[in-house]
Amino acid sequence: MSNVRLVDENGIRTDGRRPDELRPIRLEVGVLSNADGSAYIEQGKNKIIAAVYGPREVHPRHLALPDRALLRCRYHMAPFSVQERKSPAPTRREVELSKVIREALEPAIFLERFPRTSIDLFIEVLQADGGTRAAGVTVASLALADAGIPMRDLVVACAAGKADGYIILDLNDIEDKEGEADVPVAYMPSLNYVSLLQMDGQLTPEEFEQAFNLALEGCRKIYELQKQSLKAKYLAIKEAVEEAE
Amino acid sequence: MSTFYENREIVTPGDLLAEGYFNAGPNTYKIGSRIYACKLGLVEYKGRLVSVVALNTFYIPSVGDLVIGKIVEMDIHGWAVDINSPYLATLRAQDALNRPYKPQKDDLSEILDIGDLIQAKVIAYDRTRDPLLTIKEPGLGKITHGQIVKVSPAKIPRIIGRKGSMINMLKKETRCNITVGQNGLIHIYGRNPEDERIAVLAIKKIELEAHTSGLTDRIAEMIRKERSGGR
pLDDT digit string (tens) for A212-240?
A: 999 999 999 999 999 999 999 888 888 88
The pLDDT value recorded for residue A3 is: 67
Q: Does B212 touch chain A (CB under 8 A)?
A: yes
Instruction: Please report, for chain B, the start and end positions of each structural domain, with discontinuous segments joined by +.
Output: 2-54, 66-142, 147-230
pLDDT digit string (tens) for A29-88?
A: 999 999 999 999 999 999 999 999 989 999 999 999 999 999 999 999 999 999 999 999
Go through the domains of chain A in sequence order and give each one's CATH number: 25-244 (3.30.230.70)
Q: How many CB atoms lie within 10 A of CB B110?
A: 7
Fold that domain B66-142 belongs to in CATH: OB fold (Dihydrolipoamide Acetyltransferase, E2P) (2.40.50)
**In CATH terms, are B66-142 and B147-230 the same topology?**
no
Of A145, A189, A238, the CB nearest to B40: A145
Average pLDDT value over all residues in chain A: 95
The pLDDT value recorded for residue A199 is: 96
Is B2-54 a CATH 3.40.50.620 domain? Answer: no
The pLDDT value recorded for residue A2 is: 55
**Phi and psi torsions of B65, nearest 5°:** -70, 140
Q: What percent of chain A shows pLDDT beyond 90?
A: 92
| Residue spans of chain B under pLDDT 70 | 230-231
pLDDT digit string (tens) for B163-197?
A: 999 999 999 999 999 999 999 999 999 999 999 99
Q: Does B39 touch chain A (CB under 8 A)?
A: yes
Nearest residue of B to residue A187, measured between CA atoms:
B14
Answer for the pair B198, B169: CB distance below 8 angstroms, yes or no: no
Nearest to A45 by CA among A141, A129, A137: A129
Q: Does B228 touch chain A (CB under 8 A)?
A: no
Of B16, B86, B212, the CB nearest to A238: B212
- Polymer length in residues for chain A: 245
Q: How far is A205 from chain B (nearest CA, A)?
A: 31
Complex confidence, ipTM: 0.92
Bridge partner residues of B29 (DSSP) = B36
Res. A173: pLDDT tops 90: yes
Residue A50 CA from chain centroid, whole number: 10
Are A110 and B38 in contact (CB < 8 Å)? Answer: yes
Q: How far is B212 from chain A (nearest CA, A)?
A: 6
Q: Does B40 touch chain A (CB under 8 A)?
A: yes
Q: How many CB atoms lie within 10 A of CB A201?
A: 13
CATH code at B147-230: 3.30.1370.10
